[in-house]
Every structure is written in C-alpha cells, then in structure tokens.
Amino acid sequence: MSSRNEDRVPAVDPSPAELEKVKALNIEIGEAERTKNVARLSELVDDRLVFRTAKPAMIHKADFLARFADPNLETRSLTTEVLHVTPLPNSGGAPQVLVECLVTLDRTAAGPDGAPVVGKPGPYWNVRIWEHGGQSWKMVAWFNHAAPRP
C-alpha cells in the first residue's frame, strides 16, 4: 500500500510549461473569485487549504468557499499581478510551487448589521503555495496581507 504522498507525486518536477500553468491558475482563481464561481474555486483549492486573510484570520477551504454564498458580496473588479513563480525544493513529497502576487480589487460585502461595507481596494500581497496532486495543481496555502499603497 502506498502513502498519500506517493500517490500524489508526478513523474517529474515542474517544467517551465508547468510553471506557466501555475501562473495562469493564479489569474484564473482571481476571476473565479470575482464571478463567485464556487465550483471552479473548489477545484482549484485543496481540501487541506489553510488561508490567512488580510483581516487577519485563519480559515480553511469550507470557510473560504462559504464567503461566496453571501448575496451581498459583490466584486466589481479584481486584478492579479503575478510577481514571482518559484518551484520549491522537492523534499520527497509532491512538487510544490510558491507564487507571489499583488491583488487589487473593488468589493462590497455586508457588515455585521447587514448594511453594505466597501472593502479596502488593496493592493494585497499574496503568497500562495500550489501542489501537484498527480492530476492537477491545487492551492494548499494562501497568505494574504494588505500591502502599502504605492
């Protein structure tokens, strides 16, 4: 019987083409957030996702996806600038890639009293770790931090 990591490890480390795929997934996850495409977001994030929000709060996949069920959440724009895509040294597990992004958004959500609250436009510095699960790349960790305005 093989371990979970052995089942998840593809035959090779990330090629330049795979790194480009991961870069594109970071743009795609922003678009899925903007359009509240929960099905696609669920495909892109691993069940083990650990997400540190800009508030800051630590949440997991179910909490992350639940945010998009809020009918008062409206994201008018979301842009993701991918700054760096770096393969992490393989330590015998599944290949991982660290991605640094700068995200700017225009979002409104409901406050505690139900009244609309305009979110801070950012930019937000994002550090994301993607892992190849044998079939596809999935985000396993996401650190979000309000970046200083330029």
Q: 79-138, pLDDT tens digit by residue?
A: 999 999 999 987 778 899 999 999 998 888 766 666 666 666 778 999 999 999 878 999
State the pLDDT at residue 113. 65
Q: How far is CA 51 from the centre of its chain?
A: 8
Q: Per-residue pLDDT for 55 more than 80? A: yes
The CATH number of the domain covering residues in 4-146:
3.10.450.50
This prediction's pTM? 0.83
Q: What is the pLDDT of residue 96?
A: 95
Higher pLDDT, 58 or 9: 58
pLDDT at position 32 is 97
Q: Which two tokens stand for residue 136?
A: 């596809």
Q: Average pLDDT for residues 65-77, to the nearest whole number?
A: 88
Q: Where are the domains of the chain?
A: 4-146
* CA–CA dist 56, 4 (Å, integer): 31
> What pLDDT score does 12 carry?
53
Query: pLDDT tens across 5-48, in order?
Result: 444 444 457 899 999 999 999 999 999 999 999 999 999 999 99
Compute the average pLDDT of residues 58-79: 91
